[in-house]
Amino acid sequence: MTHSILAVDDDPKILKILQHTLTKEGFKVSTASCGEEALQIARQTFPDLVLLDIMMPGMDGFETFQRLKAIREVPVIILTARTDEIDKVVGFRMGVDDYQTKPFSPTELALRVKAVLRRSGEQKVISDNSLKYGSMELDYDKRVVEINRQRVELTPKEFELLWLMASNPNRVFTKAHLLDKIWDSSFYGDDNTVTVHIRKLREKIEFDPSKPTFIKTVWGTGYKFEYIV
């Protein structure tokens, strides 16, 4: 899987260095020269990581960071020419994932990007009955799903469907298999039952149901909960 990176800086020379360095490392790179442009691109491309300059005209990096998080949970590495300790403290308290001062070594920056992506992408099994995938947390005992720490209200069948698929990431389930597992053999339904529940589930857990990031359709076969490290 090719990770997408959004680099945000008002200095075109820095953007050129970032794009060259990260493209060479195999990343797909988009660039923005201000906070507003970054938000617009983030809504369209759903980047896997954002490199974000603090000192930009208009909307600064910290405000852009907060608005980015409101759009989608995404790892962020702050870039700044300032070495003030307070900036680093503020950034980490806000929840940034890493901090890189300028000037920087392109090799070091690439390593930081890979490390943050690795940490953010690791599946975290909290216990035998709890799962975490990025911004999504599932607790089987409590039948609770949270995204970005906000509870998502699911019906019992929706939860069972999500849990089954999330417990087996990247495994393809046919509609018949899901029908049998969730509704069992005593239920005389059809494939449309699964289709309807998948649609409703996407409406509740996906940022954009028309472009799902968790529950993917495998055409001609069924569905899978996609999770790629």
Compare 185 and 33 and report the one with higher pLDDT. 33
C-alpha pair distances (Å), 131 with each of 1, 23, 125: 22, 33, 5
What value does the mean pLDDT take over residues 26-50? 90
Tokens of 121: 């992408």
Q: How confident is the model at residue 37 (pLDDT cuts 50, 70, 90)?
A: very high
Name the pTM for this structure. Answer: 0.54
End-to-end CA distance of the chain: give it in Å, rounded.
8
- Residue 47 CA to residue 66 CA, distance in Å, equals 16
- State the CB neighbour count (10 A cutoff) for residue 89: 11
Residues 151-173: tens digit of each pLDDT? 999 999 999 999 999 887 877 88
Q: Which helix (H) or strand (E) holds 11?
A: none
The CATH class, in words, for 124-225 is: mainly alpha
Q: Please tell me the predicted confidence (pLDDT) of residue 125.
A: 45
Does the structure show a pLDDT above 70 at 9?
A: yes
CATH of 4-121, one of 3.30.390.50, 3.50.30.30, 3.20.20.80, 3.40.50.2300: 3.40.50.2300
User: Which residue's structure tokens are 């890189």?
Assistant: 100
CATH 3.40.50.2300 range(s) for the chain read 4-121
Residue 61 contacts residue 67 (beta carbons within 8 Å) = no
Average pLDDT over residues 108-133: 75
Say how many residues make up the chain: 229
Q: How many CB atoms lie within 10 A of CB 176?
A: 12
Range 203-211 contact pairs with CB under 8 angstroms and sequence separation of 24 or more: 204/152, 204/153, 204/154, 204/158, 205/136, 205/145, 205/147, 205/152, 205/162, 207/46, 207/71, 207/72, 208/46, 211/46
Whether residue 86 is predicted with pLDDT greater than 90 in this model: the reply is no
**pLDDT band for position 195 (cuts 50, 70, 90):** very high
Q: Which residues contact 77 (CB under 8 A, 6 or more apart)?
A: 49, 50, 51, 52, 96, 97, 98, 99, 100, 112, 113, 116
Distance of alpha carbon 53 from alpha carbon 80, whole angstroms: 6
Contact 21, 110 (CB under 8 A): yes
Mean pLDDT of 45-55: 89
